[in-house]
Structure 1
Amino acid sequence: MSDAELEKFPQHKFGQAFTTLKCECPIYLPWLEKRFKNADGQVQPGRVTDFGQLCVNYDIIVNCSGLGSLSLVGDTDLHPVRGQILKVQAPWLKHFIRDGDGLTYIFPGISSVTLGGTRQKDDWRLTADPKDCSDMFERCCALEPSLKKSQVLTEWVGLRPSRGGLRLEKEMFQHGSRQVPIIHNYGHGGGGISLHWGTALEATQLVKECIGNRYLASNL
């Protein structure tokens, strides 16, 4: 950032400015689901408590259960990192602002501005904490004072499925006399949207390898 740009943030001595894309998940995720269904994919709502439930009807399983892998896989390296944000009405803001540690950020979107945030490890709370809301609003106002006149639209809380490293690998699951391959793809933490396309391609490649191996075995 130039000296003139940095004057807006007197508490900071260094800054970066760049152009990027922002994914609007409330729009993007339904679009992905629609694309899947248009390709003859099927969505069946339900609760899976054991992979054995799926082995009855499926030959290959892809596990993208996030924090659900704590119970499904018994992965003790997996843990929640609680995130809380505010959505405010501030249409005059057009540029992203992010503090150095990434904990304080202002992300303008199509219909609202996102203010954040929190990173609270091993915190399972899904209700908004008033103190967190007040604290993040004050931090964001310190970066952009005009936010003091914004209107708060909603509070939102989510749990990031985090672990020491993302798990993307094949495992053979023994179900009776059968061995069913499971492709694990979870533990993305707060980077799910950033990483999802690449890890999905990797998981797809593992699925293709499993299909190829089954075809070869059936013809031996």
Structure 2
Amino acid sequence: MFRERTRILVTGGAGFLGSFLCERLLAQGCHVICADNYFTGSRDNIAHLLDNPYFEVIRHDVTIPLYVEVDRIFNLACPASPIHYQFDPVQTTKTSVHGAINMLGLAKRTKARILQASTSEVYGDPAVHPQREEYWGNVNPIGPRACYDEGKRCAETLFFDYHRQHGVAIKVIRIFNTYGPRMHPRDGRVVSNFIIQALAGEPITLYGSGEQTRSFCYVDDLIDGMIASWIPARSMSAP
């Protein structure tokens, strides 16, 4: 998929998804730089990669510019569960917005392709089901989840404007509920809640009427999709 020793920056690389992405990219022969501030990520997630000579780790917050030389950028940095992103909502918005600006600036300078890990939350509380990409959503801009919903929506805006205005080659993927090893056991999301309660012999919590639907994706399949999105025939190349 990538040329040998392609230099790739993964922000949020010590997180649940980021650690699996780093692992896969290294297996493909890439030189991987993992940047993470460890707010929700953990060095335990990447401990098995630290001896790889083509793996670098930088403790860094994406709200601050980062100066590295790379060919590709995967921007995964942002707490994703309500428990974590509502802990410091102002910082969550900064991570999405300032982080996008800083990573897009880096991509512009280095002429790197950049992927934004967006979210199904950009659809808000959708009035249609299932959501299609052309559906613009139904988002409450002042609610307790807005720091994440609107932060990610603004990040998407920035990505497309950097593409239109500066010719930056972008990818934006909207991730739905993903589960697998290395999930934070107390992140408050559906699958982890079910597993923790089942292991403890507790009643399994169903919110609301219990008739709502969810789209679940196993982490390996998501990483497959992330990497496959760089297939040249489907890339959004700079003009």
Of structures 1 and 2, the one scoring higher in RCO (CA 8 A, sep 6+) is: 1
TM-score (norm 1): 0.31
TM-score (norm 2): 0.29
More strand by share: 1
